[in-house]
Amino acid sequence: MKSCKHIFVLLLFLFSVQGDQLDEDYVRTDGAWILGQQSQVYRTLNIEGCAQKCEAETTFTCRSFIFAVKDQQCITLGDNTKTTVVFRRADAILFEKRMYLLECKRGTGQDYRGTESKTQNGVACQRWAATTPHVPRYSPTTNPDSGLEKNYCRNPDNDEKGPWCYTTDPSTRFDFCNIQECEEQCMYCSGENYQGRVSQTESGLECQDWASQEPHAHGYIPSNFPEKNLKSNFCRNPDGEPRPWCFTTSPTKRWEFCNIPRCTTPPPTSGPGRQCLAGRGEDYRGNVAVTISGIPCQAWAVQEPHKHARTPENYPCKHLEKNYCRNPDGENMPWCYTSDPQKRWEYCNIASCDGAPEATAASPSVAEQTELVDDCYQGTGTSYRGTMALTISGKKCQAWNAMTPHAHTKTPEALPNADLRKNYCRNPDNDKAPWCYTTDPSTRWEFCNLQKCPDPAQQQQQPQPTLSPNLDCRTGYGKDYRGKIAVTTTGKTCQEWRLQTPHKHDFFTPQTHPRSGLEKNYCRNPDGDINGPWCYTTDPSKTWDYCDVPQCPAEEYECGKAKYKPILCFGRIVGGCVSNPHSWPWQISLRVRY
């Protein structure tokens, strides 16, 4: 018995190590699918097995792999999101090797696998496999493990000056490339993208783990800020401070800055910027210098009438010129300190790039509140024009005219009739329901937290009593469905969830999802599929299929539901969101003197 326990513990340890290594070596994106010129298809039971196939690939360099959860299918690819187009697919998970995504170097850059193909003087690189105009000493044949593909900059001889290439200029045999350093040992700008492992403050205090609430309770929970990489207790800059910081393990010192050196190479170029408002306006570079109420802005380099830390020195990459409105710290929109001693700061009135009306001082966020009864969609939701901006799992939507964290082609310019305003949920491609790209770098897109509008005939019916979850109908996507339908829409009998024949599956079993009601072979929805309950089939040629489970009759009254949908209020508490009676966010008053 003891030996069995020891083996079980060892297996748990091995799976834990594999999972940690997967996180270190790959970038995961849920709901993404890519097509590559080079690919191989395998049958595997889990993600770890798919990663092993990628590592062992010999016919081409494996840069990424796709794991199709329900099909238990693994696809290894020679491409990644930098070299091919990205598509959406609900049940797919894309894993990309980090080393092929980085456009920066570690140390001498011997492991650099980016796509820079010009020298520091702008001359195009010669292909490593070519022999003109220069006969190479290093080639894919002589150095097969050095990543000498196409004409990308590389460092096959570990030159201390970094990656280089043979040039297409007959008079210059080779030259070095301008590859910036990765922000692991140093930081650019304000350290917003710093990914290093420093875990002590500048005074030597140990950092508190971001996932811990002791000794200091805080709101920077890693799961709420997945794009900020709040791992372990490493110093980070999740909120636009002048440099990385952390909460400390000292009960008497809540937080402190960390001592991260600046990188010696030039910072990454940010482009010319915009003259209008897109997203939160972090790339706005216009010359508006008046607040939303007409007060002239205070110059960023000046400390009167308001002392502050948002200076050009502390934010060297935010273009804090003169007194122009900017957004250096991730606020809702560009702002500035005012020249009025009685008014410290205020948002600015910047014209929107998509032609939407400019904000006004009288109603900064009233439009974000809409009644719940109107926030539903009809059919597939192609006509939905509401203001929902949250996905089904609670993630915030990315603005349609933004390209970060996810680059895409569904823009207001490309689809002018789809009403792709701000970051509102839409269905521009006639999918099953409204959706959006998310602000979580690890989740490319998700369907939105919306329900279908009830049919007029159902609206005229009398209020229905609360329905038992065991009835053969579903509410919403049917995640709570516990009925006994066990046949798919095409008439195939469902396979029992506990069985592994005819279809092996590792993700959806009574053990992995004990609360999903995976009894016998009944149709269920353990993964919250937008299309409703499904099952693996007993047909060897059809892995899985959806079930025809009808919607339960709508209830007319929902007790305890607020009249207005909740909204997320980001940024400063002063000048925050508008609050309506009986609906959160609530407003509070702090009494400073009696």
Q: Is the predicted pLDDT of residue 226 greater than 70, yes or no? A: no
Q: How many residues does the chain have?
A: 594
**39-50 tens-digit pLDDT:** 999 988 789 999
Given the structure tokens 């006509």, which residue do they identify?
383
Q: What b/e sequence results for 205-236 when a residue is b if at least 16 CB atoms lie within 10 Å of its CB, and e otherwise?
A: bebbbbeeeeeeeeebebeebbebebeebbbb
pLDDT of 467? 43
pLDDT of 334? 95
Tokens read off for 67: 């794991």
Q: Is 18 helix (H, G, I), strand (E, B) or coil?
A: helix
Pick left, alpha or beta for residue 281 (phi over 0 → left; psi -120 to 50 → alpha; otherwise beta). Answer: left
Domains of the chain: 20-100 (3.50.4.10), 274-364 (2.40.20.10)
**72-118 tens-digit pLDDT:** 889 999 988 887 878 877 778 999 998 888 778 888 999 898 888 99
Q: How confident is the model at residue 498 (pLDDT cuts 50, 70, 90)?
A: very high
Tokens read off for 253: 């010192």
Q: How far is CA 41 from CA 18, 27, 38, 48, 119, in A?
A: 22, 20, 11, 15, 37
Q: How far is CA 183 from CA 107, 191, 195, 381, 389, in A?
A: 11, 8, 6, 42, 32
User: Interhelix angle for 2-25 vs 47-55, to 10°?
Assistant: 60
Do residues 143 and 99 make contact, with C-beta atoms less than 8 angstroms apart? no
Q: How confident is the model at residue 62 (pLDDT cuts 50, 70, 90)?
A: very high
Q: How confident is the model at residue 589 (pLDDT cuts 50, 70, 90)?
A: very low
Count other C-beta atoms under 10 Å from residue 350's C-beta: 23
Do residues 508 and 544 make contact, with C-beta atoms less than 8 angstroms apart? no
Count other C-beta atoms under 10 Å from residue 30's C-beta: 19
- Rounded Cα gap, residues 394 and 480, in angstroms: 18
**445-480 tens-digit pLDDT:** 888 888 888 765 544 444 444 444 456 898 888 888
**387-443 tens-digit pLDDT:** 888 888 778 888 898 887 788 888 888 888 888 988 899 999 888 889 999 888 778
Q: HSE of 147 in the Cβ direction (CA atoms, 13 Å)?
A: 23
* Nearest of 425, 424, 429 to residue 414 by alpha carbon: 429
pLDDT of 457? 52
- Rounded Cα gap, residues 300 and 324, in angstroms: 8
Averaged pLDDT of the chain: 81
* Nearest of 389, 392, 372 to residue 583 by alpha carbon: 372
Q: How confident is the model at residue 278 (pLDDT cuts 50, 70, 90)?
A: confident
Q: How far is CA 102 from CA 140, 147, 189, 522, in A?
A: 21, 14, 18, 45
pLDDT of 466? 45
* Nearest of 320, 330, 328, 315 to residue 190 by alpha carbon: 315
